[in-house]
Structure 1
Amino acid sequence: MGTRQNTALARALAEVPGPLPTSGVIHIAIPHTDRFTIVGNHLAQHPDLSCTAVGIAVRIQSLPQGIEVGIKALAARCREGEKRIAAALRELEAFGYLQRVRDRLPSGRFITRTVFCNQPTALVHPRRPAAPQHTAAPAPHPAPAQAPTSAPAPAQAPAQVPMPAPATATAPAPAPAPPPEPDTSAPPPVPPPPLLSAHPAPLFVPLVPPPTAPKPPPAPLPRPNEPTPELDRAATALLSDLRRHAPQFTLSETDIRHLVPGVAAWLERAAHPDAIRRILTTDLPHPLRHPAKLLKHRLTALLPPPLPGAHDLTAPARPRIAVTPFQNCDGCNRVFRSPTPGHCRDCREHRAHRSEATRTAA
């Protein structure tokens, strides 16, 4: 007896369009007809949200309107504890998916409303009002000019305009009627401005990071400061010999010519060929799809610094401290420090005082 096979799965895999990948996930997409929730990839693949926060966001998004989504309520529905749920809610608040807004009821009591937005980036750039709002504004303007013939109901004005038009051409009575009509036509244009000004204002401005900027260009391949034929020949030989040590690096002549300056820069910095070969061929990914790109990345990212010179390795000379020698005072034979022999400080002061007294007496 053999192992039981899942024939349904085998049939589903056979219906997957295109060749199946050799590694990674294989998607079997069966359309939902009921009980499903649409989740954007900006949430499902958010680079800064934890998986717990993403799962809590999907759970909240799938709940109907008005369901309690506090920490204790979610802890009763989920297997995570209250601490993990509280941390996940803080993450969702930081990125604008969840907001807690204080609102005041007509009775004067304050309540906290929990607002969940499935696409917070749309609130940063609100959509402009649709075109019909602009086309509806001119409609009230032609109505007052034709309103004198139909005072009872403005809706019947367009139907009666073509019939009484020739009859009113001879009657001077409609002339004084236009002054009061502008007063009745003024109210219709008034409502649109407040609606347009209040509509774009969002409820809150979430802290959503801007769209990810394009990646910076890759660093260029290093080149030697002083290229020589010897460096070029040694680099070409090292790259051509890599396939003896790692068959995955069977490079073409075009790849070798492109990578020669990078290896030459390593050799110029006194890197040993065996060390270069070991760095380039160890710890390879499986499977290795682009060997030339891997070599270019390693030659660029792992480039060693130049070797220091002999003068850089010598210890810095210590500054010489001049030591003042000891001297014996010629007057009192006391020891003191002085670069030259003579008298100490007390003897000098005593001799100066005695000489000053002699001059005063004279």
Structure 2
Amino acid sequence: MDTQQNTALTRALAEVPGPLPTSGVIHIAIPHTDRFTVVGNHLAQHPDLSCTAVGIAVRIQSLPQGIEVGIKALAARCREGEKRIAAALRELEAFGYLQRVRNRLPSGRVITRTVFCNQPTALLHPRRPAAPQHPAAPAPRPAPAQTPPRAPAQTKTPTPAPPATEQPTPPMPPAPTGPPGPSERPSPEATALLPVPPPQPQLPQSSPFVPLPPSLPPSLPLVPPPTAPKPPPRPLPRPSELTPELDRAATAFLSDLHRHAPQLMLSETDVRQLVPGVAAWLERGAHPDAVRHALTDDPPVPLRRPALLLKHRITELLPPPPPGFQELAALTRRPRITVTPFQTCDACDRAFRSPTPGHCRDCRSEHARSAA
């Protein structure tokens, strides 16, 4: 008796009406009273969707409106990884169940709105509001003189009365299916008594469903697919001239970066590749503390490739050059004139220009004559 038996399921199985099938699944359908979601068989039995995509679609459909359903948000709720969830979302997007629309807010920020439709095939043939059908105008009542007298109700009397003959009721004319003709239109008095049709429901302005143009099918994604060619990345900025001073300062900056952000531990190869970018920042007058704050502020978690993150931030957050930067760079590139320093003669204390200390020209000539 070490195996537990589900006695409740056994009792419910015994109460299933009708003969049970000899093979296959047996359904025990208990009506839901709360916390349930209606899912169509077109999704649950979709022949081209994977079971992961169907499960992700059911999970999204069961969530309330306004909940984040991005890849990372779903990965935090489900046991599947980000790659499987991303593939499932692409499947749902290809068959029209999901749409990701990019909108720009008044502040300039670009956000992605996720729109989920539980029945995308209904969008291919939207329901047109039916024209209000007016009931047929009531037939004019005949004059009292023309109304045949109805037989009195039969009562139990001692003397048998002849059976009352009932007039056959004329059949009602069929209701018109199209708009009434000129002769069938009701009078203004009858029109005033007709019920007013209820107004057609309209989507509010804040509805998440974005109307698609009629020429495009709803399954066409508005976001470029992952397989679309991406533009080449921008090259790493470089200074106008990588001087030894800039090279030493940039190398020391990158080598010391892990002391302020331990997750940004760089190899020697990464440091040599990123040195020109940091040198471009320093050449433009950026303070090292400002550069460090811009490159290490709020890194993603987990951070797998710190060198790529630094390369992206160095390229995208490069500050503009200060005024007169081009003229200053041109001045620094000019060839410098070497000035020979003054020296003092060791014999006569006369000043003369020479790269090295010693004797002046006269003393050297006199020393040469005395030596001869």
TM-score with structure 2 length normalisation?
0.36
Structure richer in helix, relative to its length: 1
Query: TM-score when scaled to structure 1?
Result: 0.37
Structure with greater contact order relative to length (CA < 8 Å, sep ≥ 6): 2
